[in-house]
Amino acid sequence: MTESLKLVVGFVIGMLDNHSRKVSAKSDPTYRFALRCVRFSQSLALSRKVKSVSLCQIMKEQSLRSSEILAHARRRARKQEEFDRGGFHFTAVWDHILESQCSHDETGDTACSRCLFERSLMLPELPEMVFPNNTLTIAFTRYPGCSIQFNALDALKMVSADVLPDVQVAPSTTWQESRRGIAEKAAHPFDWTFTSKYAGTVCGCSVEPTDEIIDVERLKRQEPIGFYSQMTLYEDELADHGTAEMTVRLRAMPTFFFALMRFYLRIDRVLIRVCDTRILGDNDQGYILREWSIREAKIADLGHLPPEALLDANQVWPSLPLLESRSEKIIPLLSEVSSS
């Protein structure tokens, strides 16, 4: 095999490995382009009277190498940080992106992440980037098993799997129809904006409504940060017509901690939507305060803002009308038993 042929085929395999969905040789443009590259390289090799090599052999050889590299990269991608303060234990985990296809052969697991997501979710299509193992966990140190966690799988479980979003895309009705076609091919519509009202996964705690709210002015004060983490749970670029992303970040100060999980949706020239979950816990207070809200506005109603502000959720969210909100206390069940 010539070096040029090896390079081209390696590039092609890399494209296919990074492709975010299962491909079809008949319909997928990336796959068709890949095959054209390989065929061109073969013809180039033959024109120089180089010994012909089977396309299947080339693809198999390069696929094995690529799989080994990807498996090694996945093993090295995992990072975990932990921190204790004020009666809380914080665990942040960052890991690789969701595989584009099943990886049983590589891991030996009976249920890889890809299979778990496809089996657990009714969505006919996943976001372009999903981080299945990225998690942020806040646990009560005095009450084992009592915690709140943020993860991608539970967030995507709250995306509507049977209703199309009530959105008319301004730039192109063709794009709207293409998204509608994806849902119809799967026998049912779904929310292709991936809007989720997820507010965290609570374990071993009761959730009670409260009138207590988070003091925003307190959060603005400059205090030393003992621990900080930020991660993405999932993201989709909406076919280059905007973005939908779920992120979570946390900072622990000397006397309290604050976490924000945010779903930010921007459909260009149409609307902006922000779903926020704010978590605050004071040292040794015995409960966590959680505020959830959803805000939304049409782009046409945000003309008073500079264009760059629309691209930044931190800048645009205060200008969005509040549609719904609630405040809750997250209280360890073990603390209720001991107090009684």
DSSP string covering 246-309:
EEEEEEE-SSEEEEEEEEEEEETTTEEEEEEEEEEEETT-SSEEEEEEEEEEEGGGGTTS-HHH
Same domain, 50 and 150: no
Q: Answer whether residue 6 is part of any domain.
A: no
Nearest to 265 by CA among 169, 170, 195: 195
Nearest to 172 by CA among 312, 300, 267, 297: 267
Q: Answer whether residue 337 is part of any domain.
A: no
Same domain, 44 and 123: no
Same domain, 71 and 186: no
Same domain, 230 and 116: yes
Q: Answer whether residue 18 is part of any domain.
A: no
- What does the pLDDT read at residue 74? 64
Nearest to 231 by CA among 83, 80, 118, 116: 80
Domain count, the chain: 2
Same domain, 72 and 157: no
CA 10 to chain centroid, in Å, comes to 28
Q: Decide which of 48, 77, 106 is a domain's last residue.
A: 77
- What does the pLDDT read at residue 2? 47
Same domain, 155 and 218: yes
- What does the pLDDT read at residue 47? 44
- What does the pLDDT read at residue 169? 57
Per DSSP, the three-state class of 239 is helix
Same domain, 57 and 114: no
Same domain, 72 and 91: no
Q: Answer whether residue 66 is part of any domain.
A: yes
Same domain, 240 and 215: yes
Same domain, 174 and 257: yes
Residues with Cβ within 8 Å of residue 245, at least 6 apart in sequence: 232, 234, 235, 236, 263, 264
- What does the pLDDT read at residue 70? 58
Q: Answer whether residue 15 is part of any domain.
A: no
Order of strands, sheet of 135-140, starting from the edge strand that comes earlier in the sequence: 79-85, 88-94, 135-140, 147-151, 201-203
Same domain, 99 and 193: yes
Per DSSP, the three-state class of 227 is strand
How is residue 223 written in tokens?
Answer: 């205090």
Residue 286: what are its φ and ψ, rounded to 5°? 95, -5
Q: Answer whether residue 20 is part of any domain.
A: no
Q: Answer whether residue 339 is part of any domain.
A: no
Segment (H or E) for 209: strand 205-209
Domain with 69, as residue range(s), is: 35-77
For the chain, residues with pLDDT lower than 50 are 1-2, 4-9, 11-14, 16-27, 31, 38, 42, 44-53, 107, 170-172, 174-175, 181-187, 337, 340
Same domain, 232 and 161: yes
